[in-house]
Amino acid sequence: MNRYLPVARQHFLAALASTSVVVKTISAVVVLLYLLSWAVDTPYALGVTPGYLFPPNFWVWTLVTHGVVEQHIWGVAANVGTVMACGRLLEPLWGALELLIFFAVVNVSAGLLAGLSYLLTYVATFDLDYLFAVRVNGAAGFLGGVLVALKQTMGDTTVLRVPQVRLKAAPALVLLLLALLRLSGLLDSAAPLAAYSFGALSGWVYLRFYQRHSRGRGDMSDHFAFASFFPEALQPAVGLLAGLVHAALVKIKVCRKMVKRYDVGAPSSITISLPGTDPQDAERRRQLALKALNERLKRVEDQSAWPSMDDEEDDDEDEVRTDTQPLLPGGRDPSGGAPSSGGVQHPESSIISFEDAPSRS
């Protein structure tokens, strides 16, 4: 085990060195606050406590800081690993500024919604522990948002081969794992489960309706619909319910109706608005098809042994030199004449007729 630690440390430092300033800053803050937690109760001061988040206390700064507060070393590893995964997989597509915006939106939304859910639970139960004994902190909220973003960008990537698990199933599987850990008592609080759920939801809402990019705003492709996060048997019912909720939000002007655009790529640059297509989804499928085709062609080329054209040309040149080489030395004319000037071989010298050759005395 000890011999693998230097290798792991070397790979970690190399990966961290190749990331942007945003990723390095967030990772450094996580480590510093973890070291500070040995002397100060950082989850109390910087984590979300539902009873202190809302008036009259109004500790709003905890909405920004709770995502970088960790109490355990495995929490630090998970937090830094999540941020570095964003730097390697999402930042090249979005840019550092968009990654920072996504980090802030997901963490603030997850903290606010988790605190609000505990406040409503207190209203239903009148148990003060839901207000003052709960601490919402750590990477669970941002992890949910990151897995949703990875489902959007590379959902068809295979994570496990046996059994086959694709990246698009990761958000639901992690949610199920956290629920099982909570039911088994391995998680002493439901705060990580609540933070993860609301982080995934807020990340999906931002990416679906509000993220700005070169094609406009949001991603209305079918593979990123809300129903796609559920098993296929439940997708029709979930899709109907999600459509009704979205229509209600559009009617009260909380969300706006999205128009999907399809660029036919014609010389006149005509853009047609269609209800069921999205350029991002079509481009993603086209790239996957091209990748599969290239791999298949490469396998065919490796199995086929084609002759080399260079070797054939070299053989032809050798054959031509052999045919044109004179049989008599010194460029002497076979009819007994004088040698040609400069030793230049005439084309006729390569043909010898023994019948016409002069007799020797």
Instruction: Write the DSSP assignment of 86-103 as a string of letters.
Output: HHHHTHHHH-HHHHHHHH
Strand partners, 164: 161
Q: Is residue 262 part of a domain?
A: no
Tens digits of per-residue pLDDT, 100-121? 999 999 999 999 999 999 999 9
Distance in angstroms (rounded) separating the CA atoms of residues 343 and 329: 10
Closest CA to 119 of 139, 136, 143: 136
Number of C-beta neighbours around residue 151 at 10 A: 26
18 located within any domain: yes
Q: 4-17 vs 21-36: helix axis angle to the nearest 10?
A: 130
In sequence order, the β-bridge partners of residue 161 are: 164
Residue 318 tokens, joined: 């050798």
> Which is nearest to 291 in space by CA: 92, 147, 156?
156
CB of 123 within 8 A of CB of 145?
A: no
CA 86 to CA 97: how far, in whole Å? 12
Asked whether residue 36 is domain-assigned, the answer is yes
- Residue 118 confidence (pLDDT): 96
Enclosing domain of residue 97: 3-155+162-226
What's the chain's average pLDDT? 80
Asked if the structure places residue 325 within a domain, the reply is: no
Q: Residue 129 and residue 124: Cα distance in Å, rounded?
A: 13
- Give the CA count within 13 Å in the CB-facing half-sphere of 104: 8
User: Does residue 341 belong to any structural domain of this protein?
Assistant: no
User: What pLDDT score was predicted for residue 345?
Assistant: 47
Q: What is the pLDDT of residue 166?
A: 87
Q: Is pLDDT above 60 for 172?
A: yes
Instruction: Name the least confident of 137-151, 226-240, 315-329.
Output: 315-329
The C-alpha atoms of residue 335 and residue 346 are separated, in whole angstroms, by: 13
Q: 165: part of which helix (H) or strand (E)?
A: strand 164-166
Cβ atoms of 232 and 169 within 8 Å: the answer is no
Q: What is the mean pLDDT of residues 56-80?
A: 94
Does position 170 have pLDDT exceeding 70, yes or no? yes
Residues 74-80 have a mean pLDDT of 94
Distance CA 226, CA 151 (A): 12
In this predicted structure, what is the pLDDT of residue 216? 80
256 or 219, greater pLDDT: 219
Of 254 and 234, more confident: 234
Model confidence at 15: pLDDT above 80:
no
Query: What percent of the chain has pLDDT above 70?
Result: 73
Sign (positive or negative) of CA dihedral 340, 341, 342, 345? negative
Residue 253 Rama label (left phi>0; alpha psi -120 to 50; beta):
left
Q: How many domains does the chain have?
A: 1
Q: Which residue has the higher pLDDT, 209 or 2?
A: 209
Mean pLDDT, range 246-269, rounded to an integer: 67
Please count the CA atoms within 13 angstroms of the CA of 181 that sit on its side-chain side.
15
351 is a domain residue: no
Q: What is the pLDDT of residues 287-342, one digit of tens each?
A: 777 777 887 787 777 766 555 555 555 555 555 455 444 544 444 444 444 444 44
Report whether 174 contacts 148 (CB < 8 A). no
CATH of the domain at 81: 1.20.1540.10
Contact at 8 Å (CB) between 128 and 72? no
The residue whose two tokens read 């060195």 is 17
Sign of the C-alpha dihedral computed for residues 356, 359, 360 and 361 taken in this order: negative
Residue count of the chain:
361
SS (H, E, C) 199-211: HHHHHHHHHHHHC
pTM of the model: 0.71
CA distance 110 to 118: 12
Q: Which of 182-206 are b and which e, b meaning 16 or more Cβ less than 10 Å from the residue's Cβ?
A: beeeeeeebbbbbbbbbbbbbbbbb
Q: Is the pLDDT of residue 223 over 70?
A: yes
